Structure formats: C-alpha cells, structure tokens
Chains A and B, each alone.
Chain A
C-alpha cells in the first residue's frame, strides 16, 4: 500500500475528562490532499496537533512508511518532513518575508556564524519561484495582506523541506476572492508530490479541493471517503449525525416602524483618523439587517457607540425614537439586547456559575429578582429563571451551579442568547453570533434570530460570515474603512458582489 503516514487507534483525553480523540485510525497517502472535516470540537485540530508532536497523545501508534515513530516536539515532526500552519498566523510583523522564513534555520557563513543575508534572500527567492508564490521576499510582513502572510507561513515549512503540510482552517482568515488562489497553490504543491492535510468545516471548499476526506464527529472518525464519491449533504449528515438544511428558512415578513436609527455617527481617533465615518442607517421592527465587512472596518466602534462603551465624536444613536446619548449602560440595556462576539471577554464570566451568568442584567431590570428593596437578590427566582432559560433554549448542563466554562461553546452561546432574548427589548444587537459554533448550534441560533424577526423585534447582526448573512438577513450593509459603502437587498445581491464591496469599498466595472 502507499499508506505513507498511518495513525492507529489514537486516543487523547484533555484533562480532566474531555475525550478529544477517541481511538481514531486513519491513513494518509503520499501526494494527496486529504481534508479532515468535522464540527467545532470534533477533534480534527487535536488529531493534527498530536501528529505534529505539539501535544502528547495517551495511547495509539503513529507509523511512517510502516515503521512506528513518535514525535515529542514539532521539531521532531519537521525533521521527518511534517509541518503545520496554525489558525492564527505567527509571524514577526516588523521582519521582512525572508527573515521570517529563515528564522530558526538561517544560512550562516564564517567561523562566527554570521547570518548570510545574501544567500538567505536567494534561497527564499528560489523557493518562491519554485512554487510560483508571487511574494516579494523583501517586503515587510505587516505591510502585506493576510493571504500573503499565510503564504509566508507555508513557505517557512517548504524552506525546511517539509513535504507533509498540515493546514488548520486556512480559509477562515481569507476573503472569498483570496480562497481560489490559495487552492490553486495547494494543488500545485500536491502535484509536486507533497501531501496536504487540510482541516476545515466548510464543506464546499473541502469538496472542491480534496482528493479524500475524513469526517470526524465527537472525537471519533466517522469515515474516509473519496471527494469524487460524496456530496455536501452526505458529508454534513456524517458531520452532524443527522440531516442539515442549508437553504434559508426565511419567509417573507412585513417590516414595521423604524426601531433603531443611527444618524451621522462618527468615531474619530485622537490623531483624527475616522474609525467610523458618518454612518447612518435604520433597522425596522421585524427586520434583520446584516453588517458585512472585513474586521476592523468600524464594526468595533459601531458596537461600542451603541452599547455606551465609548462616546461617538459626532452623530446619534436612537432606539424607539429615544436617543441613547448620555444614557448609562443600564439605561441602554432596557432598550438593547446584546450578544457580543467574544463570549469569555464580554458575554460571560467563565469563572462564575451558569446561574450567575444567566441572571446578569435581569437582576437589575426585573422586580422579581429583588428582595428587601433591591438589596438582596432573590435566589429562588434566580434559580427558577436559570432553569426556565436552560429548558427554553435546550442548554445541556449537569448543574446550574457549575462553572460557566464547563459548558461547550454552543451551550455557552445558548445561555447568552437566551439571557438577552428574555430581556424583551425592542432592539437586538448581535456581533458574530455564531463564531466558533458547530453546525448544529449555528442552525439553532439562526432559528432563534429568525423567530425574533417574526416577533417584530429589530435585529442588527454583524458577521464576518457572508453565508450566514445571506441565510438570515433581509438587508446587508457593507462597511469599508468606517463607512457604509453599500445597502443591498439580500435577494438582489450575491456573495461575490458583497465580497467585492468588502475588499474595495465599491464595485469596479
């Protein structure tokens, strides 16, 4: 057989008791693009990190060309030609491309071992040419695009003569336009005899790119199939364990009166740069408005202005005709429900109990939580409330007294979403509501958002996931350099058009 690398009955338990990889056996062939797909938490990243020697596994065997090997560090793995590119790009931004590439394995000359700059640049240039990477070795890394930085990461491994490349969700940081280019490069690498192990949960990409696909669910390998012999629905069913519907369940719904209104909103930095530049829009009752845009184009400032974390330099935000300027956060929370993008930083206290997280804000706004004229919290009601919330939003938990961090990401989001939904405010602000969630949880969250629309609440969803916006939003606003550059009806636009607005701020002919 040409099974080049084989993993046999690999088990990994994250202390204390999370069974991340459950007796997985899989073979990778030389010269194939092999995708590992699964929901978040299915164990695909963990499996690859075990192979790469980044984390130790508890039992099982790794074989290369039939002989058992064990990598204790990534260095061991690289020495045998296996390298990994992580989700987060880890380069030194102030260094040039070539410096980042050779770092740790520099060509040197002379007895003192001084860096041979000329040869280093030459070597890097050779690799760039060999793989047709279209990179300038002398460019400084913080001046090049995210896609180019990713190429530098891959180049780092090629420079070290790695022939097995593990890529952990490389497309997550790319815009729709950059993805085909990456795929072309990966295919070229494969055609030169390299092996690509590609981690993803985006099924369209995986089907387009891969030769073979391994599906994982809850730490177990479900199957390895040839890409040519499967389709999206079959993969999704294996991933989730049941059928998934990809088409939007959005039904026509009449818009009501204007609920949220931003007027000429601007946020200027101290040096005068406008992070938010004269933004005006409204969200009506029973309407879901999506905000698309590459991160850092003013979304953060928009959220802060609405929530009262930072005062805008000009303009106003109003909910139900009432201006929010000058209102305390508590006053705003009577009008605005908020699901932040970072659960652990803004949406919850991981160290507190599920109960304590569930009652936040309610504890101030609802009389039934107060006893002794508001001095004492009514924990009897709090407990009932937490149980009601858990039941209504099907939160899987052992006990409401457990720490919030003991919940899975999907269940954490359900608690936060439920808490905010039950505030019964007219306006709902959601920042990346499904980031880091698995397919099942995403479906659930989308269902709840659509239900809010049915209940005639006004919803503003900020998302980096265009597919998400196309599934749930009635209108899509595109933010680019602090401005809203497009206001598009979802039915009358395409992902490609929105992507172009995101990148260029306009659609060039």
Chain B
C-alpha cells in the first residue's frame, strides 16, 4: 500500500520534472506555467468545481476501461459507447418531458442503455462468432462516430443552427447546479462507490476479478465465464454511456458535433495509469482533469500553448507506468541487498 503511494507520487513528480524540462527547452518558464495550471484548476471555488465537473467523463470512461481490463474483456469501445449513450440521452430529452425528478434518472437510464447496447453488440459478436472484442470495439467506435454524426446532421438536426447539432433537450433533463458545483459530480461519486462495491463485494465481481487474472482457473472453479464476459461488456459499456449522457445533460444540453472529444481515450489512459484499480482511477482521473482544466486558463495568462497539457498527459502516462514497474524492481532489490549484507556480517 505505502509502496503504491510512494511509486505513484514519485511517478507524478518525475513526470512533472520531465514536463518542466520540455517547457524549459521550448523557452517557456516551467514554474510560472505550473503555477498558472494549479491556479486555474485548483485555486478557488470556481476553478475547483470546473475541474470536478470535467473529471466526470474522464473518470467514468476510466472506470469502464479499468473494470474491463481487470476482468478480461479488452473493451476499447468507450469512445463509441460514450457517444451512443449521449445520443440516447439526447433523444430521450428531445421527445420526453417529465418532471426533473423523473426526467433526470430516466435520461441517465437511456444513456446507460445506449452505451450497453453498443458494447453488448461487441459482446454478442464475440460469443456468436468468436470475433475478438479488441478489434470489434475499435471498429464499432468508427461506426458510432459516423452514425451519430449522421443522426445530428439529418434526422435530429436543429434547423436553426449553423453546424450539425440537435435541438436542446427538455429543461427538466438538465442536471442542476448545486451552488457552484454541477451535481453530475454526485452521480460520479455514486457510480464509483457502486462499482467498487460490485467489483470487490459481489459474487459477480469476485468472478470477474479472478477471470481477469486466470480465466482457466475461474472456469474450472465453476464460474460461468461466458455470461460473466457479457456482463462485464454490458456494465463497462453502460459506464461509458453514462459518461456521454452526463456530458449532454450537464453541459451543452444537446448533442453537438465533436461532443465525445477525447474523453474516452483519456479515460483509457487513466485506467492504464491506475493499473486498473478503481480508486486509483478516480485519483488519476481528478489529476488529469485538473491539468486539462488548468491548461485552458494557463493559456490566457502565459504564452504557453494549451497543447502542453497533452504533452504533459502523455509524459505522465509513460513515466507513471515505468516508475511503477521500476520502483517494484528497486524495492525488491534493496530488500535483497539488505538481507545479504546482514548474512555477510553474521558470517564474518
């Protein structure tokens, strides 16, 4: 546990140092840049709540990837599942108008179903034709991308707008702000808590974990690996779909072209940084959200382009993963040397 924290912190520090070097050689001032980054992501109520809101799709897609990878299925379809969830929530919000207490949960269910539909398709193709979900989910991302682009440019386009987008969803489906904080953050916290409980305490979660580590053992132990596979695909698709729904309901309140952005790919990176740990995904997701949020403000007061945030993010992933593996090696070797020297003294 302490090892995990030490190697994680070490990774972040080294990554920030590498980022500083890159900025330095580009002729920027690293410390001023980091100060601006921190100020616009964490320095005050408004930046902090923006960071939290931006963390919602990152952590949810990260959770989706982490649970999938830790349970076996290589679901890389979060981008497609996210836009499908967003589209489903948007369509619900366009045609159904209920009081907010019903409308908001309903649209979230729509988003969940939309994401699960798209991942479930990949799961079915795997079970029926043994098609690798790794490649199928990637391909389905493309289809989802173009399908939603078509949907918002033709059947569901807002004819008053100049670029492809749907009209606004019913106002009762907008996720309200609680003071400065968008309440989609509460949904995120609930989702993390529920998923942790499912993964760590449910019988299904136990079987998912074991299957992810050694599926033959799980199978011989009597776990139904086929239905578990399908369940994991559906749940992880649902999480990505929910992320899409919350983006629509908490933000532009409509499906705008390019809505999915890079959320899902960033989420997959976060899962990799977190080594598929659920709590770790939450922590790294918040961290990445802070960098992305801060970068936008930073651009305003320094002459550093906000793209540096992407560079920083890439460096983070590489350094954190490398540090984790290397730190484990070094910790082990240090322990070994300590013991050998004790032996030597005793022998002498």
A contact set with B: CB distance below 8 Å: 9, 11-17, 19, 22-23, 58-59, 307, 309, 328-330, 333, 338, 340, 344-352, 356, 359-361, 363-365, 369-370, 374-377, 379
Contact = CB atoms under 8 A, between A and B. Distances in A.
Given A11-B344, A58-B336, A58-B340, A377 B203 contact: yes
B263 to A, nearest CB: 30
A330 B217 CA distance: 12
Contacts of B335: 15-17
Given A14-B336, A23-B343, A356 B222 contact: no
A346 to B, nearest CB: 6
Contacts of A361: 221-222
29 contacts: A11-B347, A12-B340, A13-B336, A13-B340, A15-B336, A17-B336, A19-B343, A22-B343, A23-B343, A58-B337, A59-B340, A307-B220, A328-B224, A329-B219, A330-B222, A338-B220, A340-B220, A346-B216, A349-B210, A349-B217, A356-B209, A359-B206, A360-B210, A360-B221, A364-B222, A365-B222, A375-B203, A377-B201, A377-B202
Contacts of A349: 210, 213-214, 217-218
A385 to B, nearest CB: 13
Contacts of A360: 210, 217-218, 221-222
- The size class of the interface chain B forms with chain A is 20 to 34
Given A14-B336, A356-B210, A348 B344 contact: no
Contacts, number: 110
Interface of B: 201-204, 206, 209-210, 213-214, 216-224, 329, 331-337, 339-341, 343-344, 346-347
Contacts of A330: 222-224
A346 B217 contact: yes
Nearest to A345: B216
Given A345-B217, A363-B203, A377-B206, A15 B332 contact: yes
Given A11-B340, A59-B340, 20 more contacts: A11-B344, A11-B347, A13-B340, A15-B329, A16-B331, A16-B334, A17-B336, A19-B343, A329-B219, A333-B221, A349-B217, A349-B218, A350-B213, A350-B214, A352-B209, A356-B209, A360-B222, A361-B222, A364-B221, A377-B206
B213 A351 contact: yes
A116 to B, nearest CB: 45
Given A352-B213, A356-B210, A17 B222 contact: no
Nearest to A375: B202
Contacts of A363: 203, 206
A350 B206 CA distance: 15
Nearest to B211: A349
A329 B220 contact: yes
Given A345-B214, A349-B213, A349-B214, A11 B203 contact: no
A417 B298 CA distance: 61
A118 to B, nearest CB: 49
B168 to A, nearest CB: 39
A346 B220 contact: yes
Contacts of A338: 220
Nearest to B216: A346
A64 to B, nearest CB: 22
Contacts of A58: 336-337, 340, 344
A14 B219 CA distance: 33
Contacts of B341: 59
A59 B343 contact: yes
A356 B206 contact: yes
B340 A329 contact: no
Contacts of A359: 206
Nearest to A19: B339
B220 A23 contact: no
Nearest to A343: B217
- Which 3 A-B pairs give the minimum distances between C-beta atoms? A15-B332, A58-B340, A16-B335
Contacts of A364: 203, 221-223
A360 B220 CA distance: 9
A158 to B, nearest CB: 35
A70 B214 CA distance: 41
Contacts of B224: 328, 330
Contacts of A329: 219-220, 222
B213 to A, nearest CB: 4
Nearest to A20: B336
Nearest to B197: A376
Nearest to A419: B221
A340 B216 CA distance: 11
A374 B346 CA distance: 55
A4 B221 CA distance: 54
A363 B207 CA distance: 10
Contacts of B337: 13, 58
B202 A376 contact: yes
A22 B343 CA distance: 7
A350 to B, nearest CB: 7
A318 to B, nearest CB: 19
Contacts of A59: 340-341, 343-344
A328 B227 CA distance: 13
B223 to A, nearest CB: 7
A379 B340 contact: no
Contacts of A352: 209-210, 213-214
Nearest to B201: A376
Contacts of B204: 375
Nearest to A382: B206
B222 A333 contact: yes
A369 B206 CA distance: 12
B69 to A, nearest CB: 13
Given A11-B343, A14-B336, A15-B336, A348 B217 contact: yes
Contacts of B214: 344-345, 348-352
A476 to B, nearest CB: 26
Contacts of B223: 330, 364
B327 to A, nearest CB: 12
B203 A370 contact: yes
Nearest to A364: B222
